[in-house]
């Protein structure tokens, strides 16, 4: 898959393939359930990814009941609805806009941390940015279980906030299907930017 | 490190430790250089992480010259300056606010994709969110090379845009030190949120 010289990596080729080189976004899923223990295992791994000030603002909302799942799927674009309907687990990846309340506990080395986030606009953009950073860890965490992730932004995410997350301080970032791939799960692989276009040396 | 049952993972214990369980943000670095080939290897792995519409808006700017490195370090908070000064490689992780220009090439399956991003405010928030998502892949990519990453948000990121990235359409998200850990590189590990607080089932 166009990886660099294998000798450069401390990560095994199998692990590279599992997480990056051969991993793909699934568009169909088998009916095999995703258990609570699997989600816990995923969390216990991906939670270690670093965030600024150890803020960890990402939250997962698992839409397990038919009612919850419908509230998510209703707000997806039509092209995404069949995928989510088929997926054994649909998770809403969200940011906790009041993550700063946990800072005294998770960032005790800086007692004034919480006070830095009194401004709601600043706090919101910080929460969203660090939750997206964590989303990267969690997509790879799904793959670490041998499952396929199907992240989806195509839909009305604000509608999910209203219908599913009313009464919380969570803001939906994206929806993620999780499960074993089904039949014909992959589209053709899309091209990535060449190194020279993504990396500049000054 | 409190991981779930090992039998659940398709990813080996060694790989789990390298990327998540034992990996740490380094606060000191050895003088061993980080080569261009290492950065290429990192890119060729992490580039495969998925982004919405395959948009890939993240760009890396490597501050290799003393002049470029100074333009970055000048804008960091004082507590971060020694770390960056010591790091063999300082990278600016940025979002390309004009990423949509590449969509006809990287997302050919939807010819109208570029036109969805005519609105600059929408385009900017999309670029920033997806570049943060990629930043997660790239931090793990650094670790896949056996190197330590030191991501830093503490500073005036807009000042880096002005001093280092003037004349481009790049927006600085964070600065990342990259290298082998030096002496006493780690702080005590900070706590992570319990599963029950980060994951809700509906």
Please choose, from the candidates A17, A30, A19, A23, the residue with its C-alpha nearest in 3D space to the C-alpha of residue A182. A30
pLDDT in tens, B128-148: 999 999 999 999 999 999 999
Residue B173 pLDDT exceeds 70? yes
Q: Tokens 């089904």 correspond to what residue?
A: A182
CA of A173 to nearest chain B CA: how many angstroms apart? 9
> Which residues in A lie closer than 8 A to residue B20 (C-beta atoms)?
45-46, 48-49, 137, 141
**Closest CB from A64, A135, A197 relative to B202:** A64
> What's the whole-model pTM score?
0.96
pLDDT in tens, A115-136: 999 999 999 999 999 999 999 9
What value, to the nearest 5°, has the Cα angle with vertex A169 and ends A168 and A170? 90
pLDDT in tens, B10-28: 999 999 999 999 999 999 9
Token pair recorded at residue B84 = 């960056």
Structure confidence at residue B89 as a pLDDT band (50, 70, 90): very high
Cα nearest neighbour of A22 on chain B: B48
In percent, how much of chain B has pLDDT > 90? 91
State whether A133 and B129 contact (CB < 8 Å). no
Radius of gyration of chain A (CA): 18
In A81-100, the residues whose Cβ lies within 8 Å of chain B are none
pLDDT in tens, A87-123: 999 999 999 999 999 999 999 999 999 999 999 999 9
Best residue of B135, B144, B163, B171 to probe chain A, by most A CBs closer than 10 Å: B144
Burial of B16 (0-12, 13-18, 19+ CB in 10 A): buried
- Whole-angstrom Cα distance, residue A73 to residue A80? 8
Q: Picking from A26-30, A47-51, A186-190, B16-20, which range would have the lowest pLDDT averaged per residue?
A: A186-190
Structure confidence at residue A1 as a pLDDT band (50, 70, 90): very low
Cβ atoms within 10 A of the Cβ of B104, count? 13
What ipTM goes with this model? 0.95
Is any Cβ of chain A less than 8 angstroms from the Cβ of B201? yes
State whether A48 and B20 contact (CB < 8 Å). yes
Structure confidence at residue B4 as a pLDDT band (50, 70, 90): low
- Give how far Cα B156 sits from Cα of B78, B151, B161, B162, B171, Å: 11, 14, 9, 10, 12
């Amino acid at each position: 898959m166009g990886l660099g010289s294998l000798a450069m990596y401390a990560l095994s080729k199998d692990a590279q393939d599992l997480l990056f080189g051969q991993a793909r976004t699934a568009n169909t899923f088998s009916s095999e359930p995703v258990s609570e223990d699997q989600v816990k295992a995923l969390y216990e791994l991906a939670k270690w990814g670093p965030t600024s000030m150890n803020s960890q603002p990402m939250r997962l909302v698992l839409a397990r009941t038919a009612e919850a799942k419908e509230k998510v799927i209703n707000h997806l674009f039509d092209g995404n609805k069949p995928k989510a309907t088929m997926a054994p687990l649909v998770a809403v990846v969200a940011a906790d806009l009041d993550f700063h309340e946990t800072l005294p506990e998770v960032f005790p080395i800086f007692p004034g941390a919480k006070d830095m986030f009194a401004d709601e606009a600043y706090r919101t953009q910080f929460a969203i940015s660090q939750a997206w950073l964590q989303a990267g860890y969690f997509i790879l965490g799904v793959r670490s279980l041998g499952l396929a992730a199907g992240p989806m932004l195509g839909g009305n995410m604000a509608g999910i906030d209203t219908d599913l997350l009313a009464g919380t301080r969570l803001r939906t970032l994206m929806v993620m299907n999780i499960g074993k791939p089904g039949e014909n799960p992959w589209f053709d692989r899309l091209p990535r930017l060449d190194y020279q276009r993504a990396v500049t040396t000054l």
